[in-house]
Amino acid sequence: MAKTTPTYAPVIRALCRARDRVLMTTEDWAKNIVANELSMQVEVHDDGSEPGMYDLIIGAASSPEYAIECVGAVDSVAIETWNIGPAKGPIKVHSSGDWIVSIKKSANIKSLRQNIADAIGKCEKLGLIEFSPVDWQMRRFSLEIFKKLDGLGITSIHMYRAEGSGVVHLTMDGGGGPIDQNGNNVADWIGSFLSSYDKADVVEKLRKSDATEKHAFIPIVLGGAPWGVESYFFGEMNLPSTVPKLPEPITGAWVVLNGKGLRYARNQWHVFSY
């Protein structure tokens, strides 16, 4: 079988970051990113004391400089699978090495956990330890193992460390296709995302604020945006040449993914890392 061998260190780090992130709220996480990027003191504003409060504030409550509302771009099916699968940490199996196993967002996690050890054992016996997609080539190589892996919702396997502790790290498939280098897809998407009917509460919360800058903070999670948007955060991230059509009264937006961010404020784009 023809194979390529990806570098999995960034994947493992991303899995660990995602697992650790469940220990803090989205607001606290966003607060840290905004504070670091702007070098300003940021506070959580929505304490639940009143309905319709926005999430983060910079400046005095009586005359804030920034009002920021967090709104995730998520795939609800994928996030449910993530929370009961990859987010729970690695799975112990009887193997000499450590594995990365990519799964579909529709995978049955209960069945996967019950059968993953047997599946990995069969792969190891067959010598399928390099990066191996569960595709027509695997089907030709071994129909039995193809059916077993495909039936569990597995899309690829890889023993990334031969001398390991016998653990399987689950990850999930992303999109595919050309990488957007200029960010114009992101600029167009921000406007349509924030203008959608189900984001009316975001607009309304910021409308009620007296802040000079009214921003939306948008973490993209698990396929929550089209690949043309997500791919930008895996490339060089040149600044967009277009501006987003933000619904009034929103004046700025932050989009974050893969440890990278794109911020639009005061008619300018900024790229940052977190």
User: Tens digits of per-residue pLDDT, 110-151?
Assistant: 999 999 999 999 999 999 999 999 999 999 999 999 999 999
- Is pLDDT of 79 > 90? no
Least Cα distance to 172 among 261, 73, 273, 83 occurs for: 83
> Confidence band (pLDDT; 50, 70, 90) for 26?
confident
Q: Which of 133, 148, 172 finishes a domain? A: 172
- The answer to the question of residue 9 being in a domain is no
Residue with tokens 């973490």: 219
Sorting pLDDT into bands at 50, 70 and 90, what band is 154? very high
Mean pLDDT check: name the lowest of 77-86, 96-105, 232-241, 253-262. 77-86
Predicted pLDDT at 178: 77
Residue 7 inside a domain? The answer is no
Residues 214 and 250 sit within 8 Å (Cβ to Cβ): yes
Mean of pLDDT values over 85-98: 92
Report how many domains make up the chain. Answer: 2
Considering the domain boundaries, does residue 129 fall inside one?
yes
The domain boundary, picked from 146, 172, 198, lies at 172
Smallest Cα–Cα separation from 130: which of 242, 271, 254, 4? Answer: 4
**Which SS3 state, helix, strand or coil, does residue 41 take?**
coil
Of 35-39, 76-80, 187-191, 194-198, the one with minimum mean pLDDT is 76-80
Give the residue carrying structure tokens 């606290």.
28
Print the domain residue range for 226.
25-70+178-273
Q: Give mean pLDDT, residues 63-83.
A: 90
Residue 42 φ then ψ, to 5°: -120, 135
Task: Say whether both 192 and 237 belong to one domain.
Answer: yes
The confidence band for 23, taking pLDDT boundaries of 50, 70 and 90, is very low
Task: Name 151's Cβ contacts closer than 8 Å, sequence gap at least 6.
Answer: none
Q: To the nearest whole number, what is the mean pLDDT of the chain?
A: 89
- Taking phi over 0 as left and psi of -120 to 50 as alpha, with beta for the rest, 69 belongs to beta
Q: Write out the two tokens for 18.
A: 């995602």
What pLDDT, in 10s, does the model give residues 247-274? 999 999 999 998 999 999 999 999 999 9
Are residues 90 and 40 part of one domain?
A: no
Residue 32 DSSP SS3:
helix
Q: 14 lies in a domain?
A: no
55 and 100 share a domain? Answer: no
- Pair (107, 167) in one structural domain: yes
Amino acid present at 124: E
Q: How many residues are given for the chain?
A: 274
**CA–CA separation, 254 vs 248, rounded Å?**
16
51 CB-contact burial (10 Å; exposed 0-12 / middle 13-18 / buried 19+): exposed
Q: Is residue 253 part of a domain?
A: yes
Shared domain for 149 and 114, answered yes or no, is yes
Sign of CA dihedral 130, 133, 139, 144: positive
Whether residues 84 and 116 share a domain: the answer is: yes
CA 168 to chain centre: 20
Residues 105 and 165 in one domain: yes
CB 233 within 8 A of CB 218: no
pLDDT at 153: 96
Do the domain assignments include residue 15? no
Q: 29 pLDDT exceeds 90?
A: yes
Identify whether residues 183 and 63 lie together within a single domain: yes
Q: According to the model, what pLDDT value does residue 4 have?
A: 46
Residues 65 and 93 in one domain: no
Do 57 and 188 lie in one domain? The reply is yes
Q: Are residues 156 and 133 in the same domain?
A: yes
**152 lies in a domain?**
yes
Q: Considering the chain, what percentage of its residues have pLDDT values greater than 70?
A: 89
Confidence grade of residue 2 (pLDDT, cut at 50, 70, 90): very low
Angle between helices 109-126 and 143-151 (to 10 degrees): 160
Per-residue pLDDT, 227: 87
Structure-block tokens of residue 261 = 């961010």
Would you state the pLDDT for residue 5? 45
Q: Is residue 16 part of a domain?
A: no
Task: Give the pLDDT mean for 158-175.
Answer: 88
Judgement on whether residues 142 and 84 belong to the same structural domain of the protein: yes
What span, in angstroms and rounded, lies between the C-alpha atoms of 192 and 177? 22
Please say which residue of 155, 172, 189 terminates a domain: 172
CB-based contacts of 238, cutoff 8 Å, min separation 6: 181, 182, 183
Query: What does the alpha-carbon distance between residue 70 and residue 205 come to, in Å, rounded to a whole number?
Result: 11
Query: Could you tell me which of 76, 68, 60 has the C-alpha nearest to residue 34?
Result: 68
Give Cα 249 to chain centroid, integer Å: 27
